[in-house]
Amino acid sequence: MRPLLALALCGCASAPPATAENNPRKPTADDAKAFVARVNEDLKRLFVKSSTADWIKNTYITDDTERNAASANEELLGYQARATKTAAAFKELPLDPDTARMLYLLRISATAPAPEDAKKRLELTTLAAKLEGHYGSAKDKKGRDLQELSALLRKSRNHDELLDAWVGWHETAREQRPRYQRFVELANEGAREIGFANMGDVWRSSYDIPPDEFEKETDRLWAQVKPLYDGLHCYVRAQLQQQYGKERIPEGKPIPAHVLGNMWAQEWGSIYPLVEPYKGVASLDVTKAIVAQKWDPVRMVKAGEAFFTSMGLDPLPRTFWERSMLVKPRDREVVCHASAWDVQFDDDLRIKMCIRPEEEDLVTIHHELGHDYYFHAYYKLPALYQGGANDGFHEAIGDALTLAMTPAYLKRLGLLEEMPDNPKAVINVQMKDALNKVAFLPFGKLIDQWRWDVFNGKTAPGDYNKAWWALRTKFQGIAAPVARSEQDFDPGAKYHVPANVPYTRYFLARILQFQFYRAMCQAAGHKGPLHQCSFYGSKEAGARLWKMLSMGASRPWPDALEAMTGQRQMDGGALLEYFAPLQAWLLEQNKGLSCGW
């Protein structure tokens, strides 16, 4: 993930050129062209200023760095608000495609539109810095941070220990509630000032289709893949009952959120040993091999880089290794949540992670480098085009490579032994993949569904937590493990809510990555079942990927999707093709079980 303002606020700077209300002459198409040229120059300078401040704030959390970041971002947001209003003067003019595209990107670029009032704008950016800073430095009542608590949830099988860790972390978010409520009020005010009903409409308008149509599109994609998720949920619940008992994991009820190996029950890969279909068939313990072979963070990142270079893409620049944060410093608080950066919007590629010698982090590294290679592909484009075709594209690139981290690829790295070629081994591998890829789908959709309802007033501040758990139960079949109230603010225990990072991008990425993966497999000449493909070393696949990456945001996303896949519609069909063996197996296993919740 690229940092919030660096990734999402593509369109603002110091003082827009005079047009419209302060210029009596009627604006022309030439004025519009000059306007976007000026904005592209200005915004790059302010992007660098705010991105630098954000980098420092994320890697050195103090009151001073939060205040510095808030000030830099206030300047950026102030220009953005003025530039967006100025751009409205060109709305009805006949414009060349590039100018029209840039004006569109400018209008929909802000994830937190700033009010024109300078005091409110500074209040907004100050709240944003404090929300993220609190999350990054939070510890539970026993002094445990998120890394420690998350490790416990991944590894422990003691029910009471898991519950204690889950409650401990979620309690840290309580004080975020009033900050978040005020943040929403201010951002909605900013959204109305630039012609949107609320912040949710701004977010949904960024997909080249009307906001209501986009929401229907996400519903369509979810309906495609929901049967596979439902089958996985049913099987996993039955296996967890064997571990914890039906009195704790009731039949036909939602699964308690604390027993799925992840603080947010968003990915379930850590409980694979509990649900492994065929015990002892194919060792899939990559973490064990990483630890045994003493892989350090640099070696892990080098492995990710090698995948991209094997496809004909460039090595990472020298400055990447000098400026990235790969381990958690001992002397200060940092935001460990993994993210990718081009701090100076000029190939200044970096990642920020507190890398652990675990398979999950090796996968995350491949994901974050996908962002960095996207930045690398388009950094020479005008600033307004320095973004993905849509934000789901940005998230899907690295994830498509993680699909190609097949047992054969991991064997190449020396992290797996020879894999037996039999149906039982296939099901084991697919189960492990599905616990992360498929289990995530409803979570990826519901985060923004909750926020859209908050932004438009459907969910009142007094119902924040009630609405959160209603959606988690509806989509995920997950329930809070203990009683919750409106004294709690459980959405704030998930990074992307206090950091105000739109989340539908991750849901779309789970769909798009399989489309991208299938397209690169086709380019690599793969024959056979889709799940067996790895395009490691394929220059043809790399060329297909680069063609799309280098477009940046210069064309509507259907054009970029077509360049990569030959399709113009996002489609869950590739995901279902990939998991076809597992889905058929789950149908057999779940016969006689009480599925659903």
Instruction: Give the CA diameter of the chain.
Output: 78
| Active-site residue, selected from the candidate residues 395, 396, 434, 541 | 395
Give catalytic status of residue 338 as yes or no.
yes
- The candidate with the shortest Cα–Cα distance to 336, out of 310, 355, 350, is 355
Report the C-alpha gap between 12 and 166 in whole angstroms. Answer: 40
Q: By three-state DSSP, how is residue 17 classified?
A: coil
Chain-centroid distance, C-alpha 484: 27
Q: Which of 337, 366, 376, 531 is catalytic?
A: 337
Question: How does DSSP classify residue 475?
Answer: I
Radius of gyration of the chain (CA): 23
Neighbours of 460 (CB within 10 A): 12
Q: For this structure, is 244 an active site residue?
A: no
Helix (H) or strand (E) holding 255, with range, is: strand 255-256
Q: Catalytic pick from 79, 506, 536, 578?
A: 506
Q: Give every CB contact of residue 341 below 8 A, 6+ residues apart in sequence.
A: 2, 3, 6, 51, 55, 348, 349, 350, 351, 352, 372
Q: Determine whether 496 is an active site residue.
A: yes
Determine the distance from the C-alpha atom of residue 9 to the mean position of all C-alpha atoms in its chain, rounded to a whole number.
16
Known catalytic residue at 395 = yes
Of residues 129, 265, 368, 409, which has the active-site annotation?
368
Identify the DSSP state of 461.
G
Q: Active site includes 233?
A: no
Query: Nearest Cα to 557, choosing from 399, 387, 398, 441?
Result: 387
Q: In whole angstroms, what is the distance from residue 336 CA to residue 355 CA?
A: 9
| Nearest in space to 476 (alpha carbons), one of 237, 230, 221, 166 | 230
Q: Do residues 544 and 313 make contact, with C-beta atoms less than 8 angstroms apart?
A: no
The DSSP symbol for 325 reads B
Q: Measure the CA–CA gap between 240 and 481, rounded to whole angstroms.
A: 14
Give the sign of the dihedral formed by CA 301, CA 304, CA 306, CA 312: negative
Annotation says 376 is catalytic? no
Q: Which of 70, 496, 531, 536 is catalytic?
A: 496
Spatial separation of the C-alpha atoms in residues 427 and 581, rounded to whole Å: 7
Catalytic residue among 366, 371, 376, 394: 371
88 noted as active-site residue: no
337 catalytic? Reply is yes
- Active-site option among 367, 376, 394, 531: 367
Tokens of 266: 């968003």
Count of residues making up the chain: 597
Torsion of CA 376, 379, 385, 390, to 10 degrees: 20
User: Residues with catalytic annotation?
Assistant: 337-338, 367-368, 371, 395, 496, 506
